[in-house]
């Protein structure tokens, strides 16, 4: 496995919420369309899962609320 890359970022609430919605809504077909092969699409999916967990941790209970 490659050496981990730590990504630290700060977003205002509106941008973080928009990113969270994207992460929750992106479908396999969209990942596959933008990947060179299935292997890369699976890597994208795993990375988005990691991002989703970080966003969920940051939002707490707000994670499950529908956007207004």
**Each residue's pLDDT tens digit, 3-25:** 999 999 999 989 998 999 999 99
Count other Cβ atoms within 10 Å, centred on residue 18. 12
Quick one: pLDDT at residue 2?
86
Given this model, what pLDDT does residue 19 score? 94
* CB-based contacts of 48, cutoff 8 Å, min separation 6: 23, 26, 31
Average pLDDT of every residue of the chain: 90
Stronger pLDDT, 29 or 68, i.e. the higher one: 29
């Amino acid at each position: 496995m490659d050496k981990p890359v730590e990504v630290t970022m700060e977003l205002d609430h509106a941008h973080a919420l928009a990113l969270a919605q994207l992460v929750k809504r992106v479908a396999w077909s969209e990942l596959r369309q933008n990947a060179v092969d299935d292997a890369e699409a699976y890597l994208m999916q795993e990375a988005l899962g990691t991002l989703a967990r970080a966003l969920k941790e940051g939002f707490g209970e707000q994670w499950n609320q529908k956007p207004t």
